[in-house]
Structure 1
Amino acid sequence: MPSPSSLRRALLACAALGLAGAGATAAAQGAAAPATPGWPAKSLRIIVGFPPGSSPDLTARTFSEPLSRALGQPVIVENKVGAGGNIGADTVAKATDGHTIGLFINGNLTIARLLNPQVTYDPARDLAPLSLIGVSPLVLTVPVGQKDVPATGDARAFLDAARAAGDRWSYGTPGVGTVGHLGTELLKARTGIDPLHVPYPGYPQVATAMGGGQLQMALLPPALALSQERAGKLKRIGVTSAGRSTLAPEVPSLAEAGVRDFQLEIWNAFAAPVSMPAPVRARLSAVIGEIARSPEVRDKLFQQGWQAVGSSAEGLANRMQADTAAMARVIREQKISAQ
């Protein structure tokens, strides 16, 4: 079996290469968007592959109004839910109207087809990068009030209990192949815990299931984890960043609990179908990147649990390439399949 450290290095390399590429190209992206005479001729659709109220949905809706102002046309967010966001991604990949883009999470733009060759779109072939929007660690979160599940905030005590429970415990994610799934599999390799994987349509459903006693743990986005903790349903016990995150500075990193050098990030991004004309994609990339870097939207993204990036198309392409290689290695070494 591959060593846990080799899996960790794969994800660390992914994060480092991706952020370097995104940062360099975000600064280079000009403020002025290229001219596209006659476009847009109608409303722009933003397809989201997750339910209303989910993190991708909130991000898309954050952009809809400023993007509408910039383009002079309505911007409509449409939810196409299922298959860990891949149904929405397939909808975007097949769009030919020149007025459809998508807001995606990591997995949809990286390893979807590597994990399952039956996926009907190829992110590298069918989707054109526009802009990396935000990055975030995940938060190891546990239910409050479940017997034998320590919810004191002590990650060491929780991991000890998880090791003792073996496969009697379960963890939830927004789907097979998402970063929450692959990251928990990496955490299992690093710590010796062995909970069973249960996929759900999105993170809100994972949180609801955990609060209802169906799950014993999950890696959740910081904003959702915090809101559930404030409601008294869940407890945050560790972030997956290398050190404490500015998104949740009061929560210790898992490295502080002895999970050394464990680092994992989620991100979201806009992409378009390759059928969209290149000048239109260039304009959208410039406009979306500028919106993401604006103080108003940066603040909103931070409140949603994201550190804003607003990269160029090239920056997102670099991140996609780095993450695809790193996540493919995790899938291969942990023998993860779509089944």
Structure 2
Amino acid sequence: MFRHSPARRGLLALALASACGAAVADKSAAPATPGWPARPLRIIVGFPPGSSPDLTARTFSEPLAQALGQPVIVENKVGAGGNIGADAVAKAQDDHTIGLFINGNLTIAKLLNPQVPYDPARDLAPLSLIGVSPLVLAAPVNQPGVPAGADARAFLQAARQAGDRWSYGTPGVGTVGHLGTELLKARTGIAPVHIPYPGYPQVATAMLGGQLQMALLPPALAQAQERAGKLRLIGVTSAGRSALVPHVPSLSEAGVRDFQLEIWNAFAAPASMPAPVRARLSALIGETARSPEVRAKLFQQGWQAVGSSAEGLANRMRADTATMSRVIREQGIRAE
């Protein structure tokens, strides 16, 4: 009979122990949830079909369905800037409902309006930060008072000289574009007047018509207008350059200090969902977001994929809530 030497037996024992340890680690990363899911998983989106949050949710529905062995249904509950959908997730008690959120629902909504019926910190449990994107400071190409080819420093200097004779547009009071521009005003000494519009396309149209002198726009919209020769892109709001707009410098490169702003989306669950179920969903969603196929789809939708842990999302929520709370307080912003 074949016999291993003592040294060989020791190596086999070590290998077996390592394999068992890896199995335990895998099990802790995605804990067993006996009997769950017992029916389809529902993803609530607070925005209409075809919107950016809706597209992201549907990008995840098929991979999650394959992993869970149950259908995954996207349900749109539209209204109040996504807060109706967020409240529906917060109140869900079926252990089979999660939500796809934009950062405003998880950080700004309750700060700006205490009457919002849910509390993100109390009623929602973070699952995973999915994608991030900067906004792009954009302006009309032929803008009076701004030299042709002006870089970010020259543009901001022109904005300071213009004072409140300039205006900027956003999709509404309390949006990331609004609070972000107010933060930029505080950091740079510029003073353009806020004019809210129904959405970003209307903001871009107003800039092309000369009603606005600047705005923070999503990269895809900003680049489309740049390619058409109608808008110039001044700088991105992320800490460094973004792969989504690689040719545009960050505003920090222009000397804007203590300024970093991103829009993002994330999955969260009702706080009442059992912890093992949340842990399994967090692991599956994060892994899905980091897969090459989904990363590519998110990039096409205008997102740099993250796929964080639940703790990573919780940390981001706390940090952004603190930043936005300070902007709202210092700039005296109130819901309309």
- TM-score calculated relative to the size of structure 1: 0.79
Question: Deviation digits for residues 92-120 of structure 1, max 9, x if unmatched?
Answer: 21223333221112221123212211111
2:321 alignment partner in structure 1: 324
* Structure 2 Cα separation of the partners of residues 275 and 113 of structure 1: 20
Aligned CA-pair RMSD: 2.9
Aligned to 2:139: 142
**CA apart distance, 1:291:** 0.2
Q: Report deviation, 1:165.
A: 4.2
Aligned amino acid, residue 61 of structure 1: R
- Aligned residue for 1:229, secondary structure, equals helix
Percentage of identical aligned residues: 86
Q: The residue matched to 1:111 in structure 2 has which SS?
A: helix
Moved more, 166-175 or 318-327: 166-175
Q: Select which of 218, 236, 239 maps to 1:239.
A: 236
Taking a change above 3 Å as real, the CA distance of residues 31 and 279 of structure 1, as seen in their structure-2 partners, is closer
Q: 1:117 aligns with which of 114, 117, 123?
A: 114
Q: What amino acid is aligned across from residue 269 of structure 2 in structure 1?
A: A
1:1-339 to 2 correspondence within 5 Å?
33-144=30-141, 152=149, 154-200=151-197, 202-211=199-208, 214-260=211-257, 262-339=259-336
Q: For residue 22 of structure 2, what is the aligned residue in structure 1? A: none
Distance in 2 between residues matched to 1:155 and 1:214, nearest whole Å = 21
Q: Indicate the SS of the match to 1:172.
A: strand
Q: Is the 8 A contact 1:54 1:203 kept in 2?
A: no
Quick check: 1:96–1:276 contact (8 Å CA) kept in 2? yes
Preserved contact between residue 139 and residue 232 of structure 2 (Cα < 8 Å) = yes
Report deviation, 1:251: 0.6
Q: Which amino acid aligns with 2:300?
A: Q
Q: Secondary structure at the match of 2:83?
A: helix
* 1:201-251 Cα shifts (integer Å, max 9, x gaps): 554554455446554322123233223433445332211123322332211
Deviations 1:76-96 (Å, cap 9, x if unpaired)? Answer: 333334433323212221223
- Cα separation, 2, equivalents of 1:51 and 1:261: 35
Instruction: Give, in angstroms, the shift of residue 140 of structure 1.
Output: 0.7
**Partners of 1:166 and 1:193 in 2: how far apart?**
6
> What amino acid does structure 1 have at the position aligned with 2:122?
R
Bigger Rg, which one: 2
Counterpart amino acid of 1:93?
A
One-letter code aligned to 1:248: V
1:148 deviates by 6.5
Asked if the contact 2:47–2:78 (Cα under 8 Å) also holds between the matched residues in 1, the reply is: yes
SS in 1 for 2:66: helix
Which amino acid is the alignment partner of residue 96 of structure 2? H
2:53, 2:102 within 8 Å by CA — same for their partners in 1?
Answer: yes
- Amino acid of the structure 2 residue aligned with 1:190: R
Deviates most, 178-187 or 200-209: 200-209
Q: Is the Cα–Cα contact under 8 Å of residues 238 and 250 in structure 2 kept in the other structure?
A: yes
Residue identity opposite 2:191 in structure 1: D
Equivalent residue letter for 1:173? T
Number of corresponding residues:
312
Q: Which amino acid aligns with 1:293?
A: R
SS of corresponding position for 2:182: helix
Structure 1 position 279, deviation (Å): 2.7
* Contact 2:132/2:265, CA 8 A, preserved across alignment: yes
- The residue matched to 2:238 in structure 1 has which SS? coil
Q: Compared with structure 1, are the counterparts of its residues 296 and 138 closer, same or farther at alpha carbon in structure 2 (3 Å cutoff)?
A: same
Aligned-pair CA distance for 1:145: 6.0
Q: Please state whether the residue corresponding to 1:246 is helix, strand or coil.
A: coil
Unaligned runs of 5+ in 2: 1-24
Distance 1:223 1:29, change over 3 A: farther
Single out whichever of 85-94 and 213-222 deviates more from structure 2: 213-222
SS in 2 for 1:110: helix
Determine the C-alpha separation between the residues in 2 that align with 1:153 and 1:63: 42
